[in-house]
Structure 1
Amino acid sequence: MRAALVSGAMAMTALGLSGCASNDYPTSSVANANTTISSGYAVAAGDNLKVTVFDEPSLTGEFLIDSAGNLAMPLIEKVPVAGRNPNEVAGLISSQLKAGGYVLDPKVSVEVLAYRPVYVLGEVAQPGEYPYSPDLTFFQAIAKAGGFTPRANKTMVVLQRSAWSTPRTIKLTDEPLIIAPGDTVIIEESFL
């Protein structure tokens, strides 16, 4: 009986340790991760935009990008805007207003009012969802989540970015890691 208990405990320990082994995510550098967002902000589902159509107060307002990445406004069809920067979105809206004959020479501006949140999970004091602010760095995101726990791995991070098909492991360096709206930051446990 005792041998069975010891054997069972060893099997459970081995199973538990196998779950703690390092992940099999592809590795990326901080510089590579930062280049994916250096081309400017691309809007996506969940962003809240302020669209201003000059001299047309009935077309001006705040609009939420739906889960399919579309922007719905009065008078025009849904505009597919996901992956475009605010200037490109303004151009699409302008061309649709002009093509529909609603506004002869539309002047449109678009600004992001509320960005998608950032998720900080794992070995932090308060894992959860946090509001994004422009130029957010990795350490600022960790500070929002109350800092590292004593068990946190402070040299590597798992980052899931909407532009990536799979999460990536990033080895932290002196170069600041820039966090994008919608990113999920996962701090794993250190086993040193």
Structure 2
Amino acid sequence: MPRDVVAQTSNNAVFRLGAGDVINITVYGEEDLSRQKYRLPDSGLIMFPFGEVRALGLSIAELEIRIADGLRGGYLLNPRVSVSIEEYRPFFISGQVAAPGAYPYKSGLTVRMAVSIAGGFKERASESKIFVVRETDPLHTLSKIGLDGEVFPGDAVTVEESFF
């Protein structure tokens, strides 16, 4: 049973890395330490000569700092690290849409856009009974969301059926 909670949406929300994201890591002047098109595994661990770096749940800036700090510990004097997103993990949409499934995430995605990507509403879809489970929510709360609400990588959106 969905709770009567409205999903948080915010223009200043910080993107957090998750399993399936593809990233580029550049350590300037050190090609052997750079990684291109690296898909984050379920463990979220990235191996470096100094050890593992856990990337899951970190922002891009936090990951850059963690890698630079690790490299500073005996490898490089003043490492400059840049991390960029090559490809986001997918979002998921189910329920009363023409083509439910997993779709590639695009920055700035709204529920309205997600429904369109999934082929539009089915005839019995309720435009007011749409719910989201945020991948970043440890409680996996089913929250109500509007058509203009933001969808993030890893989110699961469900469009309910209308009975009228």
Q: TM-score, normalised by structure 1?
A: 0.79
- For residues 38-49 of structure 1, the aligned pairs below 5 Å read 38-49=12-23
CA deviation map 1:40-84 (0-9, x unaligned): 1111111111000001111112222221222224x1311112111
Verify the 8 A CA contact 1:158 1:167 in the aligned structure 2.
no
In the TM superposition, what are the counterparts of 1:13-28 in structure 2 within 5 Å?
24-28=1-5
- Output the CA distance in 1 between the equivalents of 2:18 and 2:150: 18
> Partner amino acid for 2:153?
P
2:133 matched to which residue of 1? Answer: 160
Equivalent residue in structure 1 for 2:81, among 108, 116, 131: 108
Distance 2:117 2:79 in 1: 41
Alignment partner of 1:170 is 2:144: yes
Aligned residue number for residue 93 of structure 1: 67
Q: 1:20-99, aligned counterparts within 5 Å?
A: 24-29=1-6, 32-35=7-10, 38-62=12-36, 63-73=38-48, 75-99=49-73
> Which of residues 98, 114, 127 is equivalent to 1:125?
98
Structure 1 vs Structure 2: percent identity of aligned residues? 30
2: CA distance, partners of 1:105 / 1:66: 28
CA contact (8 A) 1:25 1:166 kept: no
In structure 2, stretches of 5+ residues that fail to align are: none
**Aligned partners of 1:43 and 1:84: how far apart in 2?**
6
Q: 1:86 to 1:169 in 2, by over 3 A?
A: closer
Bigger Rg over Cα: 1
Shift of residue 127 of structure 1? 0.7
Superposed displacement of residue 171, structure 1: 5.0
Instruction: Say whether the 8 Å CA contact 2:111–2:146 is kept in structure 1.
Output: no
TM-score when normalising by structure 2: 0.91
Q: Conserved in 2, the CA contact under 8 Å of 1:94 and 1:108?
A: yes
Change (3 A) 1:39 1:172: closer
Aligned pairs, number = 162
**Higher normalized contact order (CA 8 Å, seq sep 6+, divided by chain length):** 2
Q: Which runs of 5+ in 1 are unaligned?
A: 1-23
**Which AA in structure 1 matches 2:161?**
E
